[in-house]
Amino acid sequence: MAQKICRARFAPGTVVVHRRFGYRGLIFDVDAVYSQSPEWYDIMANSHPPKDRPWYHVLVDGETHTTYVAEDNLVECDETDAFEHPLLSHLFDAGDGGDFASRHIVN
């Protein structure tokens, strides 16, 4: 049986907004499919988003933590306000117009 291949809607460096919780974030890595434990999914993924679509590692603006979010829960953000996170300069080079170029090779 052929495996379905999904193309990620967002790339590292994309600023997004979480549909349900409204926080702004910056994608720093992408998993083609869900890659955390079944226990994490049962506890944290209350809306039960699909596991066979892309999931994203996201820096949360103005906070110190990161999140792991299903593609269905994200929309691209048009805001150009400054982005603040302690890992930002470690993971990205900031460009003109609020663009972010990854400093590391991601999967």
pLDDT tens digit string along 13-59? 999 999 999 999 999 999 999 999 999 999 998 889 999 999 999 99
Q: Pull the structure tokens for residue 9.
A: 């809607």
Q: Cα–Cα distance between 19 and 95 in angstroms, integer?
A: 26
Q: Where are the domains of the chain?
A: 17-102
Helix (H) or strand (E) segment spanning residue 44: helix 38-44
Q: Pull the structure tokens for residue 59.
A: 């820096």
Q: Pull the structure tokens for residue 41.
A: 């999914």
Give pLDDT, residue 97: 63
